Amino acid sequence: MVNKRRIGNAYEERAVSFLTANGFQVLDRNFYSKYGEIDIIALDSERFLCFVEVKYRKNHASGDPLEAVTYQKQRKISSAARYYLMTHPRLQRYQIRFDVIGILGDKISHMKNAFEYIGAS
């Protein structure tokens, strides 16, 4: 049986390496709250606090990983991000951005500003 959490952690580690190599400063990983989970939280330069979702697909059979973040998932990430900012007030000075890192086989793609913040409804 495949351990999906272990596989997910391995690809999140690849995403962290990718972000770090591209000048991001990773602040947090696997932030859990009652509102949802955020895979990676990182600073992109001195301007953006990025909430990053990582999606992996072995091949195209399950679709493009960059398109796998549903509206429902976006809402959960937005709610978790709001909570994260409430619990980390020093970071509220940054503009926020929601990014998705898609890993398809061995190829990594980074979609900056993949979706907008979805407020509480």
Specify the residue for token string 């059979």.
61
| Sequential pLDDT tens for the chain (121 residues) | 566 667 677 889 999 999 999 999 999 999 999 999 999 999 998 899 999 999 988 766 667 778 889 999 999 999 999 999 999 999 999 999 999 999 998 899 999 999 999 986 5
Specify the residue for token string 């007030």.
89
Specify the residue for token string 């999906």.
4
Residue 6 is predicted with a pLDDT of 72
Residue 4 main-chain phi, psi, to 5 deg: -65, -35
Nearest-angstrom CA–CA distance, 84 and 117 = 14
Nearest-angstrom CA–CA distance, 89 and 60 = 40
Protein fold of 4-115 = Trna Endonuclease; Chain: A, domain 1 (3.40.1350)
Going from N- to C-terminal start, the domains of the chain cover: 4-115
pTM across the whole model:
0.90
Nearest-angstrom CA–CA distance, 74 and 108 = 20
Residue 117 is predicted with a pLDDT of 94
